[in-house]
Structure formats: C-alpha cells, structure tokens
Amino acid sequence: MIIIPTIELQGRRCVSLTRGRLDEPVIWHVDPVERACDFADAGAQRLQVTDFDAVTGDEDNRDIVIEIMRRTGVDVQVAGGIRTLERAREWLDAGAARVVIGTAAVTNPEMVRQAAKYHPDAVILAVDVFQGRVMSQGWREPTAFSPADFIAHFAASPLAALQITDIDADVGDSDATLSLIADLAAHARTPVIASGMVRGLDDIARLKYAGHVEGVIVGRALFNHAIEIEDALRVAAEPSEPAPGFI
C-alpha cells in the first residue's frame, strides 16, 4: 500500500481544513515546497497537492505546485478546481502525473469520461461521501447519488484510481470504521485510494486489511506530528498478516 502525503494550499500557505470549511483553515507555518521535498527525501513515492484557492477561483498556487513537481522528482497528483478538460490537460502537460476530479464529475460527468479517454490512467475520480451520499462543491452540497451508483457511472472509463473520502470519519462524526472503504474497494474495478481515515499509525495498519486499497492519503496527521512520514512508510511496507476480522 502506498502512502501519499498531501500538501494543501491556501493563500500560498500549507493548511488543513476543519470540517471541510475553507474559511477556517488550520495554518501550518512551514514552506510547502520544502515540506514536499522532506516527504520525497524520506521515501514517499507519490504526493498529492490540493489547491484550495483554485477551488474558489480567487487565485491559484500554480507556481508553487510546479516547483514541487520540479524539486521533488516524484509523481505528483494535483487536485482542486479542475473542472474542464482544458484545465486537466494543462496540469498533465505541466508535469502532473495525475489529476483529481471531484465536483466536475457531478456537474459534468461527460467531461470526466473524455478526460479519462484522452488521458488513460491519469484521471482520479474523487468520491466524497457523507452520511451515505456523494458530496460536491468541496463537501458543501449533497447529491442524490449513493457512492456505489456514482462510481458505476464511470465504470467504462480508464480511470487511474477512485479516491474515496469518508467525510464522516474525517470530521470525527463516526468511529472511522473501514466498512465504507472496504465495501467500495471490494466491488471496484479500479484501484482505490482511501482518504480521511488516518489519524495515527494504527489507522494505516487497519487499512491494509481493507483489501484492494492501493494507497492512502495522509495530511493533517503528518503536519501535527501525530505520525512521522518515516513511520507511516514503514507500516505501509510491512507484510500483511491474515485479516483479524475487526474491520
């Protein structure tokens, strides 16, 4: 299983969001490029960079993202505000290994299908789930879709991965069981990346038993030092023992 550290940008600073609210960021006083380089130097094979300013359309942090891609030398998947085929192509042409698309998959699913068709294995479908429903617009608007039905709409597209965020677990409204991730991963034809699940090393160890989970996004826990990147990579690389049956 791959650990994917995430750098989340707002106002050119590293941040984490509280309950997904863009107006209440937790600001981390570290240089985003240097932090990304630290993750890569520690052995991370892939990074995610999410640009919250691109989501709102106020500005963007394009130069920082490109500098991260240039300096780290690892695969970088870019998320945030990618709502047109042209925008997806711009990032891939700029050197992004993959692009993550969420809201546009709800509002313009044909665009996502076209992006996957023209850029096979480079488009990640973000599936953000709260109380059993897919959310859009940065977790702000519920849709009528169950996650399984939503994923089924893109079953024929050559997606690189499904990035599934358990919002209930991320905001602390549940006990962060693996049932959502495990069930969707078990039925998916596309590799699954889990998000919103990691607060400590035990969560990484438990995700290894979910089955069919290719990677896990880790953000806040790395910045507040609940876990260190070296420990996260070590746990993810350890051979899995037979499932203990507690997921």
Cβ(203)–Cβ(173) below 8 Å: no
Q: How far apart are CA 14 and CA 33, in angstroms?
A: 10
8 is catalytic: yes
Say how many Å lie between the first and final Cα of the chain, rounded: 17
Grouping H, G, I as helix, E, B as strand and the rest as coil, residue 107 is: helix
53 is catalytic: no
**Active-site residue among 75, 128, 166, 203?**
128
Q: Is the dihedral of CA 121, 126, 131, 135 positive or negative?
A: negative
**Active-site residue among 8, 75, 166, 170?**
8
Alpha helices for the chain (secondary structure H):
32-42, 52-56, 62-72, 85-94, 103-107, 109-118, 147-152, 167-170, 179-187, 201-207, 220-223, 229-237
Give the residue numbers annotated as catalytic, written as ranges.
Answer: 8, 128
